[in-house]
A and B are shown apart, each in its own frame.
Chain A
């Protein structure tokens, strides 16, 4: 039995029943992680010791006829932005290269309580700042579908780990598209929940009003199950919402009868590569064939989303990253004659270019005299962008768009022009600003065999609808299930 072929549900069922030992599952996953690490560089840390220990504990629980949890034996790769107590957490930065957290993030605790086994911490763009995973202090991650291309970012390692079948599930974070875009580039399902659906406690903060933790998996049902486990109010996070968590993974409807799918005219413009456009159009026609009414909607402020995002996110980040100062943890410069030198040198040495750039941008935009014109203005336009979406959702249930203008690009292609990299995010940024949930599901491949993702959006806390739409596409698009060559 090829364990990497099993869905999460069937895997955990087999472990719970005792048919498969969790240890066997973990050993398989670890082997795949180690064997592919040279090619992909998907991991910063592989947690061999801890994972095997946990696997044995799960097996023991099963044999003593106790409940090992809803994700028993399921291997999960976790983005190295979520703190794992006792296991190095780096945010892919030199400034945290040796940081051993004294506590775990809530999401990690929830996964472990459900019996999931964390096999490693995945590579990412440093401090989640990037869209290609080329900004890591530990080297770039490669796309399993084409090793000369980027996997997307910032959750590149998490996407690659699932695409290469190292683990059936991974955890990423999404601030402006960092789950959806790599999911699209790597051909896996990725969900950015509603802002407030999942706890941010113990997640290295980039942009506090945008960051959300979310799952990536091979198929919609698996992703939905992961979302179910990690969601819920956390008393440690004031921005986590006290709302009911539906059983996302149960009885997912595979049609769109009675639902309306909105297509925002501002998203379907020139600049989208023809193959992407074709794949997205095909997915929409699948939705239509399965009962959806397709309507045109308008999101007039779409063009300003990038500017709003690249003001708000760096402003929040410039403040969130002030704690990396070499005093209590992290990199400290070897020579400083006073505290000011300590700060300047430690931070100058420890941060990569993209974090430094964004800290500078945010510091500038918040500085005296600029607050009203920049940060405050961006927050006002943000409200208008959210209003746009709420208006659109009065006309439809789900909005469908491309995730990106093209498939995975080549390593190095956009790395030297930060602004060009930013413009790439146009489709995913505005939903983050609005706080609404978003999902990426594979809807085709390019002639070169590169995955293309479909983005589905719904209103706040309505993840059920986008899961349903994604499931419908998955079940009825007739796309053959592919594996990246060599994995």
Chain B
């Protein structure tokens, strides 16, 4: 089952990835092959089987509601490509 160029475009949009036309074509082919390969999973009978997310059984962890140490002043924006004081600056959102 081939992934159409339109599907590729939609996925790239959802994933916010700008692709070159070459990447579009290449990924369309490669992803089709991968998805086809993965489809073999439908052959496995999974009736009544609960999905497994965390593979190791372990007890749950919580935090107490106590304020802890966060960023030192300025650390939050120390890697920001653009900032205004300690705020992140980006091109217009609306």
Contacts and interface: CB of A to CB of B under 8 A. Distances in A.
Contact of B35 (A235, A345, A361, A461): A361
A31 interface: no
A18 interface: no
B25 interface: no
A308 B78 CA distance: 39
Q: Interface range on chain B: under 10, 10 to 19, 20 to 34, or 35 or more?
A: 35 or more
Given A310-B34, A356-B27, A304 B17 contact: no
Contacts of A235: 61, 63
A230 B7 CA distance: 44
Contact of A364 (B7, B19, B33): B7
Interface of B is mostly: loop
Contact of A383 (B11, B19, B49, B78): B49
B31 A360 contact: yes
Interface of A is mostly: helix
Contact of B92 (A322, A327, A339): A339
Contact of A330 (B54, B58, B79): B79
Pick the most buried of B23, B31, B44: most chain A CB atoms within 10 A of its CB.
B44
Contacts of A243: 58
Interface string A342-355: 11110111010100
Nearest to A360: B11
Interface string B11-49: 110111111000100010011011101101110101001
A119 B78 CA distance: 24
Interface of B: 3, 7-8, 11-12, 14-19, 23, 27, 30-31, 33-35, 37-38, 40-42, 44, 46, 49-61, 63, 71-72, 75-82, 88, 90-93
13 contacts: A301-B44, A327-B90, A337-B91, A341-B91, A344-B18, A347-B18, A360-B27, A364-B3, A379-B52, A381-B46, A386-B55, A418-B34, A419-B30
